[in-house]
């Protein structure tokens, strides 16, 4: 069995487990997993840039918020359908990521991190300054009546879970296809040795730019899906905190693995949820967990699986 077939079987098995989990777990946990699936899409987009290309961005909240506000504003003021709103969110996120990628890739290393962070902060301030339309920090709610596709109610817990799972599955297979393709392997080559990739004739800058656009668009898709399924659009999702979250998910789950973002998002979400019941310093608990995993499992939880169990893990 080839590596591609093994990867497809693994991903189908994972999707099957997630589908079965809805019928086994209590309603509270299925609600959490629906949210985690959307955040895992966000982390998958981030992982393509960081885990596979080696570019550390601190401004991905800008892309997440672009998709969220692209959908939210279109539905709020243009009264478009959810599907058209989702397309609007994707197109706006793709446009923003293309512009930011074109400008930020003029730098590298620490400068790239700082530039992406500054662009994200500029995006956050823009949302606040345009409070007449965005409602600033308060944000706005997408009404339940707007979150209907024909008679399909996206605010229903069951529908929301399986829509989140369906969109997560699509993104998972897209990422799986990308990393197994020649383009994905070129990104890994750039991550490992950029100068050698350039000497071999690859247009490194164009590959990086394409990676930023794909990464930003997928992150924007997560933002649009989040707004559509949970009915809220707010400036909180454009803050630095939401740029750090996907980095944590990827580091904990395993950078450069297709299933790592889901594992990391699930682990971090439940860790914070459980820790917050005992202490208000739940982020300190998350920080300690991250330090311990960095020391004893530097390649993340999926990295442990790849090293000891599934050596062909994509």
The count of structural domains within the chain is 1
| Residue 307 in domain | no
**Residues 50 and 181 sit within 8 Å (Cβ to Cβ):** no
State residue 94's pLDDT score.
Answer: 97
Q: Which helix (H) or strand (E) holds 232?
A: strand 232-233
pLDDT of residue 286: 81
Q: Are 229 and 141 in contact (CB under 8 A)?
A: no
111 contacts 202 by C-beta, under 8 angstroms: no
Does residue 303 form part of some domain? no
Q: How far apart are CA 81 and CA 83, in angstroms?
A: 5
- Structural domain containing residue 182: 3-239
Q: What is the pLDDT of residues 185-219, one digit of tens each?
A: 999 999 999 999 999 999 999 999 999 999 999 99
Does residue 220 register a pLDDT over 90? yes
User: Is 246 inside a domain boundary?
Assistant: no
- Quickly state the pLDDT bin for 285 (edges 50, 70, 90): confident
Residue with token string 């707007």: 146
Q: Please tell me the pTM assigned to this model.
A: 0.94
Residue 260 included in any domain = no
The model's pLDDT over 271-281, given as tens digits with 9 standing for 90+, comes to: 888 888 888 88
Q: Does some domain include residue 248?
A: no
Residue 53 lies in a domain: yes
Between the alpha carbon of residue 24 and those of residues 30, 136, 268, the distances in Å are: 9, 39, 22
- 193 found inside a domain: yes
DSSP class of residue 48 equals I
pLDDT value at residue 295: 84
User: Residue 1: its pLDDT value, please?
Assistant: 63
308 assigned to some structural domain: no
Q: Tell me how crowded residue 136 is: count the other CB atoms within 10 A of its CB.
A: 15
């Amino acid at each position: 069995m080839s590596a591609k077939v093994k990867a497809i079987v693994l991903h189908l098995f994972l999707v099957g487990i997630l589908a079965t989990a809805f019928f086994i777990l209590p309603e509270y946990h299925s609600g959490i997993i629906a949210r985690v699936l959307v955040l895992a899409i966000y982390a998958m987009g981030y992982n393509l840039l960081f885990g596979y290309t080696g570019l550390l961005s601190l401004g991905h909240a800008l892309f997440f918020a672009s998709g969220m506000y692209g959908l939210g504003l279109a539905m709020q003021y243009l009264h478009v359908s959810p599907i058209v709103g989702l397309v609007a969110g994707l197109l706006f996120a793709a446009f923003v990521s293309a512009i930011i990628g074109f400008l930020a890739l003029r730098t590298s290393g620490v400068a790239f991190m700082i530039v992406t962070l500054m662009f994200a902060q500029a995006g956050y301030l823009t949302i606040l300054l345009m409070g007449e339309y965005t409602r600033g920090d308060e944000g706005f709610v997408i009404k339940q009546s707007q979150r209907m596709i024909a008679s399909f109610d996206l605010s229903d817990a069951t529908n929301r879970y399986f829509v989140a799972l369906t969109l997560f599955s699509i993104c998972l297979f897209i990422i799986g296809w990308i990393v197994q393709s020649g383009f994905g392997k070129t990104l890994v080559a750039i991550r490992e040795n950029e100068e050698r990739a350039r000497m071999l004739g690859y247009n490194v800058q164009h590959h990086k730019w394409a990676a930023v656009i794909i990464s930003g668009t997928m992150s924007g898709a997560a933002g649009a899906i989040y707004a559509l399924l949970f009915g809220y659009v707010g400036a909180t999702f454009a803050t630095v905190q939401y740029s750090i979250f996907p980095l944590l998910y990827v580091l904990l789950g395993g950078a450069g693995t297709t299933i790592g973002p889901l594992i990391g998002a699930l682990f971090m979400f439940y860790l914070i949820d459980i820790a917050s019941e005992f202490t208000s310093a739940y982020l300190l608990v998350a920080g300690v967990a991250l330090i311990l995993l960095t020391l004893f499992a530097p390649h993340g939880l999926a990295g442990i699986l790849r090293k000891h169990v599934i050596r062909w893990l994509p």
